[in-house]
């Protein structure tokens, strides 16, 4: 059971210059100590105090709530004319507390060009710095600390972090890795690695770099959305650069022969990728992988590029995958009326510039691979 959040707190706007929090929020304890010119042991107390409540958090420009979800927008510290969008998604109560999953953005806009995603319509505006990513967690904690709940819950907080907001995380991997190091530093924010999920459209080079980073416990989710190359290339241009066979090979390597679980995200588009035949193709593609398929009914954009399937189609599709031996779940939708659900984040007023690169149909491709 979840409870409504009331009396959302007010925040100041961000200044045009880099604020004080930005200079600290992307640092681990060791980096903070080096910046201060002291040993980590001597810096630990100050670092813990700053990261767990005393550090000024980014200013919020907009905040909305619906169905117990909270969407908040933060001016980008290094480019305040733009905003990041983040979403607090309610989870079920347990252990006397109320918990949320925080959906974090890694970029403003995105260059992947997925046709069912509002963010893609913006094109890539800017990749976020580590502090701007960590700042979303700092702000989320301040939002929840400042709320008045209709319960006597012992605790309200962020339990999970999913890199599923605006942008392609593996297109900004260095910042993601630095942000995760700060988020999980036990001397500071102390988020467990096992509660972090990184989502990707299937950047094979990024998957291999992520594997080499050895982030024990961090989960990988792949936005698949189609079981064959023709269909996937039509709705996801990245597939032209990194087709399904190559993606499958990279995931087999990443999963260490099936020992590591991978989550597949499948946005269901009415009349496009929602047939029993598509389900059968998907299950065949999953061979040699240890996967869970999360089925996500399409969430309309402004204007809508597709239509969501009806409930009966969603139920049949999930059942078909299960009947063929793969674990599948229907993801519960939160925040749709806030334009905060999967595929809805992004500013409709910002559109991709004419001629801007889109992965899969741009000079980024060199001989069928992604140019560095």
Enumerate the active-site residues.
342
Contact 115, 236 (CB under 8 A): yes
The tokens for 342 are 């999967």
User: Which residues, in sequence order, are bridge partners of residue 327?
Assistant: 292
User: Which residues, in sequence order, are bridge partners of residue 131?
Assistant: none
**366 vs 372: CA distance, rounded Å:** 9
∠ CA 353-171-196, nearest 5°, is 130
For the chain, give me the number of helices (H) and strands (E)? 11, 16
Q: How big is the chain, counted in residues?
A: 372
46, 119, 213 from 171: Cα distances, Å: 33, 14, 15
Contact 84, 105 (CB under 8 A): yes
Residue given tokens 């502090």 in the structure block: 131
88 three-class SS:
strand
Contact 237, 112 (CB under 8 A): yes
Spatial CA neighbour of 334 closest among 17, 71, 13, 43: 71
169 three-class SS:
helix
217 three-class SS:
coil
Burial of 123 (0-12, 13-18, 19+ CB in 10 A): buried
Query: Where does the chain show beta strands of DSSP type E?
Result: 5-6, 62-66, 69-76, 79-90, 97-103, 107-109, 124-127, 148-149, 155-163, 196-200, 219-223, 262-268, 291-297, 327-330, 365-366, 369-370
Q: How many CA atoms, within 13 angstroms, populate the side-chain half-sphere of residue 339?
A: 17
**319 vs 31: CA distance, rounded Å:** 49
């Amino acid at each position: 059971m979840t409870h409504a959040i009331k009396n959302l707190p007010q925040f100041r706007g961000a200044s045009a210059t880099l604020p004080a929090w930005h200079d600290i929020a992307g640092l681990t304890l060791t980096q903070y100590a080096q910046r201060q010119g002291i040993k980590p042991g001597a810096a630990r107390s100050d670092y813990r105090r700053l990261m767990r409540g005393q550090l000024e958090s980014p200013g919020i420009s907009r905040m909305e709530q619906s169905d117990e979800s909270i969407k908040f927008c933060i001016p980008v510290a290094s480019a305040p004319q733009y905003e990041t969008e983040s979403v607090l998604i309610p989870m079920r109560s347990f252990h006397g507390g109320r918990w949320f999953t925080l959906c974090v953005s890694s970029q403003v806009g995105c260059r992947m060009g997925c046709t069912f995603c509002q963010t893609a319509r913006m094109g890539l505006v800017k990749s976020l710095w580590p502090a701007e990513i960590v700042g979303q967690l700092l702000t989320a904690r301040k939002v929840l600390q400042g709320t008045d709940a209709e319960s006597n819950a012992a605790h309200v907080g962020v339990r999970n972090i999913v890199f599923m907001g605006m942008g392609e995380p593996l297109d900004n991997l260095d910042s993601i890795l630095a942000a995760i190091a700060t988020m999980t530093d036990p001397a500071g924010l102390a988020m467990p690695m096992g509660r972090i999920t990184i989502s990707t459209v299937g950047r094979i080079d990024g998957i291999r770099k992520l594997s080499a980073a050895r982030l024990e416990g961090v989960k990988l989710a792949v936005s698949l959305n189609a079981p064959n190359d023709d269909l996937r290339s039509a709705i996801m241009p990245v597939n032209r650069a990194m087709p399904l066979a190559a993606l499958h090979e990279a995931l087999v390597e990443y999963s260490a022969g099936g020992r590591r679980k991978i989550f597949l995200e499948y946005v269901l588009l009415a009349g496009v990728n929602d047939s029993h035949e598509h389900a059968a193709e998907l299950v065949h593609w999953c061979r040699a992988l240890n996967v869970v398929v999360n089925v996500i009914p399409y969430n309309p954009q402004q204007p809508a590029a597709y239509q969501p399937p009806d409930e009966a189609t969603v139920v049949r599709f999930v059942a078909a995958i299960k009947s063929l031996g793969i674990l599948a779940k229907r993801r519960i939708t939160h925040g749709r009326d806030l334009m905060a659900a999967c595929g809805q984040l992004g500013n409709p007023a910002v559109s991709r510039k004419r001629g801007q690169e889109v992965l899969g149909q741009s000079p980024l491709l060199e001989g069928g691979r992604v140019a560095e």
